[in-house]
Structure 1
Amino acid sequence: MSTLTWQWIILIAVNVVLFWVSPWSNKVNDFFRGSHNDKPPSAFLLTSSLVICWLFAKSITNAADLGYQFGIVGGVAYAGYYLSFLVAGVIIYRMRTKGQYKSIHHFLQTKYGKGAIILFTILIGFRLLNEIWSNTMIVGSYFGEKGSMPYFASLTVFTLLTLAYTLKGGMRTSIITDLIQMAFFVLLMVIILGIIIPETDGGIKTFVQSGDWSMAQGVNLLLVALIQVLSYPFHDPILTDRGFISSPKTTLKSYLWATVIGASCIILFSFVGIFAKMRGLEAPATIGVAKFFGTILLLVMNTIMLTSAAATIDSTFTSTAKLVHIDLLNEKGISVSKARLTMIAIAVFGTIPIFFNPEILSATTISGTMVMGLAPIFVFWNLDAPKISYFASVVLGVVFGFWLVFYPVPTFMLLSEGKYADLLSINLFGTIACFIVFLLPILFKKKIESAN
């Protein structure tokens, strides 16, 4: 059989297995909170779910490509985003234990009103759509050239099969299949590393010493990540929804472990890109390395992309259903059937952008820049801030995001040289500006109160 035939067999087989193991449930707690007979997920289940939902096809492809461009510096730079787990875990823990908030939307509704919810929903809706097209594009790239019939056919079938098993049990299905997908990922990554490391003179030492720790060679992106982790995690409902389904202590423990495991996996997977660069293989690194070693590794790489992409997309479907029916509509007597229709709708709308050939890395860097205004809102979640603080910060962040997309950054604003220099400057100055416009109304309000 041809390689393409084997790829189709793996695509269908993986999803059939996931469909078979997925529990069916019409219980609201199971479908929206991942519980089983009203018992919340354990730390082990929650950790595996958090990690694999962020080890999506887009992320591991970016990790390999950044390793290809910048060596180990690129891998560490991208791993910096995984400090999002640490930031989100600590803040959500305090929001739940000190503020008694039940969700991110509950917090925003209580402090800033319905308008804040609408604006926030627009931002995370953009994120949810990104997750679908950016991951299915990776899957399609293993089946054919971008824009070809095999490319579109494979990503369409993949999306439909993932939707099919997710419809069975919502969040409960997602939590259970995440454990299986995480096991698959670790096994397949060990196989890949077990092949490429022995093929490299000097072994692991060669990988660790690759790259140049300079601003232009990846440090720019590392600094961007360290800035964006103050806001980035809070516009990802896949990550934050899981912060409210188990006990606060279990949740905090899971987020801390997810930080270490997730960052480690990203750095290790950047070895694929480093190997590709050392051997002079063509980008994208994952496909280049897979073709270099032949059919077996190509199928292994294809499988790891399928499992990681499915883990993120099924979580996107469940987060969208929760967003619409619980966070926005606040339905009484929630209908699981309506939630399933919402999942079908997001599957359709999330696939449409693929036909406009968007860039995959932009799904991370651009959306992360546009939400920089969330940083002061969550860092200072317990401050008595007026509504204007929220709207000024969020809107200013969006303005900086659009600036990055549509207009060049003036030379005098650039803090360094090389790739991502403009991204770093916009994120640093923009985040500082967002903190200022958030805090000024608070100080002004206190000044008026003290004067009275």
Structure 2
Amino acid sequence: MSDLLIYQWILVILFGLILFFISPLAKSKEIFFRASSANGKLPGFWLLTSSLVISWIFAKSITNAANLGMEFGMVGGVAYATYYLSFIVAGFVIYYMRVNGGFESIHQFLRSRFGSNAIRLFSLLIAFRMFNEVWSNTMVIGTYFGDKGTSVYFTAIIVFTLLTLAYALKGGLRSSLITDMVQMVLFGLLLFVILGILLPSSEATVTETIGSGEWTLAGGVDLLLVALLQVFSYPFHDPVMTDRAFIAAPKVALKSFIAATFIGGICIILFSWIGIYAQQNGLEGQAAVEVSKTFGVGMMLLMNFIMITSASSTLDSAFASFSKLIAVDLNFGKTINISLSKGRLAMIGLTVLGTIPIFLGPEILSATTISGTMVIGLAPVFILWKVKAPRLSFFLSVLGGIVIGTLFAFDLLPNNLAIGSGKYAALLGANLWGSLICLGLYLLPILFSKKHE
């Protein structure tokens, strides 16, 4: 075993143990499911903001950001950072849902407006989202230990996943928030050190780096437009984000969501500079991995550590949200049935199911793009939440999005729907035309019911 591999194992195990010991032991539902402190205090601005940012800086996200920077220059980084406008959209929508509508959760809103079957369908979508988060993030960690399919690759994934599960089981959502603050500080420091090493080594000036890429559809702007379309639906199928919008005071939560938009977006753009460096130096493959190799063991460890911090923060958040989904949200308001043991069993179940795909070798990026297209039908439901709509509106719009996303995933949509000639032309076409179709499907029953009043 090489010295690098030994150091990487030490990082993973030591970091996991530290997070376990700093995590609180949750003995009440409020601590485990709502992240309250032992004395009942709600999360404050900085705790919530750091949790929002780091739980959305997935290992796969920063890997994608670096790869997009390598492929499209700064345009790629900005395109991927555009997804962080999701915080603005979700922050304002949920703020007004709480203040003006009096809703205490997404599920309560859906139950009151569209009934129990709407909750079941919606829960399937977000369960799929969290299922994706497990394998797509742990796969990134595995690639730093060995090639896909090797024994050390699988071992690293399993060990990392179990260590994260251990502290998530201990404190639930409260553990997630406490460890997220630690992970956010570490991420910021590590990113600062990595860029401090890269920038002086680059032959390109800062101005040249910022101006890299072409602002055309073929140059990555098509992905930016996809992101602009998806921010109106994408955040609402992510309970890691939406759960946090309900655990603090409404104004505190809104301020945190606004701050997370800018902090998260800047972090992603800065990380894409790693990919731009790779492009400028003619490197190929996974940008973050290849760049770290050129600087030796020290950079490899820094890159590995930053991946560990981002992956563990996303993973523990997925565990906590899935736990709440099974133990709280699917109880349909029957709070007497909420149990900590049920929530912890749900975490274990997600761990098992979410780890299976690593043996099947799916593409990391597909966890974002395909599921993002499949949920475009959620946009009218939440953006137009004040509009009284029949139950049929929900099902037509959401199922319409699922059909469009599925057709896109299997390459069954007509080629003439594509917009432009870039890499994401088909994706842009599917999202633009699909969004318009879903909006029409949502409004149609409303218009029909008004004609017959």
| Fold match by TM threshold 0.5 | yes
Q: Any residues of structure 2 matched to 1:439-450 within 5 Å, and which? A: 439-449=443-453
SS class of match (1:155): helix
Cα distance in structure 2, aligned partners of 1:188 and 1:132: 23
Cα distance in structure 1, aligned partners of 2:19 and 2:250: 29
Offset of residue 331 of structure 1: 4.5
Cα distance in structure 2, aligned partners of 1:425 and 1:334: 43
Q: Would the aligned equivalents of 1:57 and 1:138 in 2 still touch at CA under 8 Å?
A: yes
Match of 1:108 among 88, 107, 110: 110
SS class of match (1:170): helix
Q: Any residues of structure 2 matched to 1:272-283 within 5 Å, and which? A: 272-283=274-285
Match of 2:393 among 389, 392, 395: 389
Offset of residue 40 of structure 1: 0.6
Q: Does 1:88 align with 2:83?
A: no
Q: Which position in structure 1 is the counterpart of 2:31?
A: 30
Cα distance in structure 1, aligned partners of 2:27 and 2:79: 42
Q: Which position in structure 1 is the counterpart of 2:348?
A: 344
Q: Any residues of structure 2 matched to 1:43-442 within 5 Å, and which? A: 43-329=45-331, 330-442=334-446
* Paired residues, number: 449
Distance 1:441 1:285, change over 3 A: same
Aligned AA (2:346): T
Offset of residue 25 of structure 1: 1.4
> Where does structure 1 differ by over 6 angstroms across 4 or more consecutive aligned residues?
none
SS class of match (2:423): coil
Q: Any residues of structure 2 matched to 1:13-28 within 5 Å, and which? A: 13-28=14-29
Q: Would the aligned equivalents of 2:398 and 2:438 in 1 still touch at CA under 8 Å?
A: yes
Distance 1:333 1:438, change over 3 A: closer
Aligned AA (1:176): I
TM (normalized to structure 1)? 0.98
Aligned AA (1:34): A
Cα distance in structure 1, aligned partners of 2:13 and 2:56: 23
Q: Would the aligned equivalents of 2:377 and 2:397 in 1 still touch at CA under 8 Å?
A: yes
Q: Would the aligned equivalents of 2:34 and 2:173 in 1 still touch at CA under 8 Å?
A: yes
Aligned AA (1:14): F
Offset of residue 407 of structure 1: 2.6
TM (normalized to structure 2)? 0.98
Aligned AA (1:365): T
SS class of match (1:198): helix
Cα distance in structure 1, aligned partners of 2:202 and 2:412: 41
Give % identity. Answer: 55
Cα distance in structure 2, aligned partners of 1:287 and 1:427: 31
Offset of residue 281 of structure 1: 1.5
The CA deviation string for residues 15-73 of structure 1, in whole angstroms up to 9 with x for no partner, is: 11111111111111010011102111001100000000000101000000000100000
Q: Structure 1: state its 5+ residue gaps.
A: none
Q: Would the aligned equivalents of 1:171 and 1:318 in 2 still touch at CA under 8 Å?
A: yes
SS class of match (1:117): helix
Q: Would the aligned equivalents of 1:325 and 1:331 in 2 still touch at CA under 8 Å?
A: no
Q: Would the aligned equivalents of 1:321 and 1:343 in 2 still touch at CA under 8 Å?
A: yes
SS class of match (1:238): helix
SS class of match (1:100): coil
Q: Would the aligned equivalents of 2:20 and 2:167 in 1 still touch at CA under 8 Å?
A: yes
Cα distance in structure 1, aligned partners of 2:262 and 2:295: 30
Q: Would the aligned equivalents of 1:28 and 1:336 in 2 still touch at CA under 8 Å?
A: yes
Q: Structure 2: state its 5+ residue gaps.
A: none
Cα distance in structure 2, aligned partners of 1:225 and 1:121: 23
Cα distance in structure 2, aligned partners of 1:413 and 1:321: 39
Offset of residue 333 of structure 1: 4.8
Aligned AA (2:284): E
Q: Would the aligned equivalents of 2:418 and 2:427 in 1 still touch at CA under 8 Å?
A: no
Cα distance in structure 2, aligned partners of 1:379 and 1:334: 30
Offset of residue 143 of structure 1: 0.3
Offset of residue 414 of structure 1: 2.0
Distance 1:316 1:19, change over 3 A: same
Cα distance in structure 2, aligned partners of 1:297 and 1:282: 17
Cα distance in structure 1, aligned partners of 2:203 and 2:140: 30
